[in-house]
Amino acid sequence: MSDFATVLPFPARALPVPAEALHLRSMRGEASDEELMLRYGRGDARAFELLYRRHRLPLYRFLLRQLGNAESAEELFQDLWMRVVNSRGRYQPRAKFTSWVYAIAHNRLMDFYRVNGRASFLSQEESESVLEDLPAVEIAADLRLDRKRAAKRLLAALGELPDAQREAFLLQQESEMSIEEIAAATGVGPETAKSRLRYAVAKLRASLGKES
Amino acid sequence: MSERRDEELSHIYRDAEGPRPAQRVDDNIVAASQRVAGNVRRPAAFAFSRRWGTPVALAATVLVTFTLALMVFERESGLDTLAPKAPRGGRTPKVSPAAPVRAEQPAKSPPVEARAEPSAKTPSPELRSAAPAPATPSPRAPAPLERAKPPTVETALSSERRATGQPARLPEVPRGVEILRKSEELKPAPAGASPGANVRAGAIAPQPPVPDAQRVFDAQQQIRPAQAPAAAPAPGANVVRESASTLQGAGVGAAIGSRFVVPEAKERTPEKWLEDIRKLKTEGKTIEAERELGEFKKRYPDYILPEDLR
């Protein structure tokens, strides 16, 4: 039984750790996430601090933008890291640490949605056919110049997205996950993950291209 | 399956203001991680004690155990190995003022002493069975003096036996003497008992303990016929008498007397003695009191004197 099985409600799909990422980190003389987690499992609290420093902001942003509420985001954020801390002895690097930790975050979000009656996340409203109909929108020229305003509008549009699509987009932006990794972390097939991502990107582009 | 990231969107997204978790959340998480890992940073003193605590404790335990074992061994060997060591001749008698006499005497009548020894050590089976343990210390005497005394008797007897070729039997002589002393207390000796021995003892050793020792052997003489009148023939009694006088002449009696027949003043408990000194002081006999106090200090050097007598 892998560590994913302890945090995921669906069968675990082992994802190989990308060799490029490991190579880059080793070239920079940095320990990989998986190595740090293993070191922490052996009692090295400093390794956890490094790991936390690496992932705290992306994870917090992911949760905050999914929930839209700083208080709930902090609560889930703390709970998420406590789970990481408590799983230190069982952790095995069969997949990327990022995939593992975002899978935990996904599960915590699902629990939160269930408790708070947000069932929209669970519906499968998007499909490939819908995606194919979406037109490719160019970002407005004035927004290209005013990046701050563009960012503000992007965040507003992000809040309008369905939870699943927003999650796919955030996972790609914050954790730099591939489609497969997003699929594994969210417990869906790669096709579904891909369609969610495409749909989210199309909608966001459309929101940025309306005003000119 | 790969999906190219929309770089333009990614740039805009990164330009957005990045929210941060509250500091207390960070602190909580890091503290929890350190607590769980058991890696909370501790002061240097704690690290030092953690590193050296076990070796130091082990060393201390070994040292204490070794010291205790050495003390026990020394105590046992100090008491028990004295008898085997004495016949070898390596030790000189510590407290035996009559040693020169003893050195001369055994040569004069070795057969008599050889016969006399069993009578001195075991008066009779009945008495032996009724006798108290020889090593039972007097509860009134302080420990250092008790420990200092046995060599006196032992050296006197062992040198005596060395001359006669007998093996040293240290514990048995005191036992017999103790029994004799007790029986003497129970049964007063007749006035004319062994006058010859008394005369001889007085001639050879005029020291104060000698009469006590003589009394001991006289009492032995009195007990022996009473216990076994038929078995002991008349010549045997003479032999015993002779051996007693020989031993007396050799200074054994003095040694025994100094060990077992202590003067009256020394039989007193320290408290009683001090009480007497106080009485002397209150009666105005200052010089006597001082002298008594001086003797007391000699006898009990470790005794802590009361305030009024210092």
Are the beta carbons of B12 and A150 separated by less than 8 Å? yes
Contact assignment for A173 to B13 by CB distance below 8 Å: yes
| pLDDT over 60 at B229, yes or no | no
Least CA distance to B10: which residue of chain A? A173
Task: Summarize pLDDT for A91-119 with one digit per residue, the tens.
Answer: 888 888 999 999 999 999 999 888 887 65
Across A28-37, A59-68, B26-35, B291-300, least confident range: A28-37
List CB contacts of B225: < 8 A, sequence separation 6 or more: B232, B237
CA distance A148 to chain B (A): 7
- What is the arithmetic mean of pLDDT over A7-11? 39
- pTM score of the predicted model: 0.45
pLDDT band at B183 (very low <50, low <70, confident <90, very high): low
Asked if pLDDT for residue A13 goes beyond 50, the answer is: no
Tell whether the torsion through CA atoms of B203, B205, B210 and B214 is positive or negative: negative
Q: Which residues of A touch B3 (CB under 8 A)?
A: 172, 178-179, 194, 197-198
Residues B13, A201: C-beta atoms closer than 8 Å: no
Domains present along chain A, CATH in parentheses: 16-119 (1.10.1740.10), 126-212 (1.10.10.10)
A56 contact residues in B (CB cutoff 8 A): 21, 26
A210: pLDDT confidence band, cut at 50, 70 and 90? low
Q: Is B15's Cβ below 8 Å from some Cβ in A?
A: yes
> Residue B180: is its pLDDT beyond 70?
no
Q: Write down the domain spans for chain B.
A: 83-262, 267-309
- Is the confidence at residue B206, as pLDDT, over 50? no
Percent of chain A surpassing pLDDT 90: 32
- Facing residue for B12 by CB, picked from A86, A88, A154: A154
Check if A119 contacts B (Cβ < 8 Å). Answer: no
Q: Using CB atoms, pick whichever of A48, A139, A155 lies closest to residue B16.
A: A155
Question: Nearest by CB to B1, which of A43, A151, A194?
Answer: A194
Give the mean pLDDT of B127-136.
42
Which pLDDT does position B131 carry in this prediction?
A: 41
- In eight-state DSSP terms, residue B32 is H
Smallest CA-to-CA distance from B102 within B253, B251, B258 is with: B251
CA distance B159 to B88: 10
Contact call for B33 and A40, based on CB within 8 A: yes
pLDDT confidence of residue A121? 54
Chain B: residue nearest A69 by CA? B19
What phi, psi does B140 have (nearest 5°)?
-85, -30
Which pLDDT band, with edges at 50, 70 and 90, does B304 fall under?
confident
**What is the mean pLDDT of the segment spanning B110-114?**
42
In angstroms, the CA A100 to CA A82 distance is 14
Residues B255 and B156 sit within 8 Å (Cβ to Cβ): yes
Please give the residue of chain B at the shortest CA–CA distance from A150. Answer: B12
Provide the pLDDT for residue B260.
Answer: 46
Question: Which residue of chain B comes nearest to A70, CA vs CA?
Answer: B21
Residue from A183, A204, A93, A124 nearest B11 by CA: A204
Shortest distance, CA B48 to any CA of chain A (angstroms): 20
Cα–Cα dist B137/B79, whole Å: 13
